[in-house]
């Protein structure tokens, strides 16, 4: 039987679904309501949490890596939305420079998404996309094997998310990675695979 895995990378204002079947990137239309594994990093983890909240797709093993499950304080939402908009602008206009700096498949994917998004909605599309991320609270979650990962260098942000998740799903597994920061584990793993 064919294994189906969903990777949702952090990406600006769009959902990046890459379904990998035996190492080949495929279209997400072939999910047919069931996944063996789903992994979401940061914004991707937020998207994965929304999929688990809706319970529309059965996911055998779900991993949310540093996903924002709680809303941010209201005073911080607009400054962060503008900050993310600036990030996407720099990725769009300085793609070659960032590819030269990072040499990583993860950043290549992120930069490619920025190049797709910016021309169609510019900063407004990015700010609107992040508004939901920064203001939405996870109310319920469904799944048999749910994991939450984070690094010790981002613990001050991740611990309230974990506490909230464990209230909704006491059987969730929490994994803390020593000396790791936001998204670092995923970048390391993809760099080793590419």
Half-sphere exposure of 42 (CA within 13 A, CB side): 18
What's the rounded Cα separation, in Å, for the pair 107 and 115? 12
Sheet strands (E) in the chain: 5-8, 17-21, 24-26, 34-41, 58-65, 146-151, 173-177
What the block records as the tokens of 108 is 């290549």
What's the mean pLDDT when you consider all of the chain? 76
What percentage of the chain has pLDDT greater than the value 70?
Answer: 71
Q: Please tell me whether residue 142 adopts helix, strand or coil conformation.
A: coil
**Prediction pTM value:** 0.71
* Domain ranges, ordered by start, for the chain: 5-71+137-193, 74-132
User: Is 118 in contact with 92 (CB distance < 8 Å)?
Assistant: yes
What the block records as the tokens of 98 is 């960032």
pLDDT tens for each residue of 22-68: 332 333 445 567 788 888 888 788 888 988 998 878 889 999 998 88
pLDDT tens for each residue of 81-124: 888 888 778 877 887 777 777 665 556 666 676 777 677 777 78
User: Is 52 in contact with 59 (CB distance < 8 Å)?
Assistant: yes
What's the rounded Cα separation, in Å, for the pair 80 and 74? 11
- Of residues 39, 32, 46, the one with CA closest to residue 6: 39
What's the rounded Cα separation, in Å, for the pair 48 and 54? 10
- Of residues 70, 11, 1, 7, the one with CA closest to residue 40: 7
Continuous segment of H or E residues that includes residue 125: helix 105-135
């Amino acid at each position: 039987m064919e294994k189906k895995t969903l990777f949702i990378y952090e990406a600006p204002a769009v959902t990046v679904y890459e379904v990998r079947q035996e190492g080949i990137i495929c279209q997400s239309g072939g999910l047919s309501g069931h996944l063996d594994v789903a992994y979401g990093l940061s914004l991707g983890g937020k998207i994965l949490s929304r999929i688990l909240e809706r319970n529309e797709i059965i996911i055998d093993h779900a991993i949310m890596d540093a996903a924002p499950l709680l809303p941010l304080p209201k005073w911080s939402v607009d400054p962060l939305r503008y900050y993310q908009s600036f990030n996407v602008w720099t990725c769009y206009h300085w793609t070659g420079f960032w590819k030269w700096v990072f040499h990583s498949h993860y950043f290549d994917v992120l930069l490619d998404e920025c190049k797709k998004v910016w021309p169609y909605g510019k900063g407004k599309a990015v700010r609107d996309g992040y508004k939901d991320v920064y203001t939405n609270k996870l109310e319920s979650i469904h799944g048999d094997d749910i994991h939450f990962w984070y690094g010790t260098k981002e613990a001050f942000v991740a611990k309230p998310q974990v506490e909230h998740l464990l209230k909704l799903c006491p059987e969730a597994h929490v994994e803390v990675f020593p000396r790791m920061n936001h998204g670092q584990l995923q970048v390391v793993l993809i760099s080793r695979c590419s």
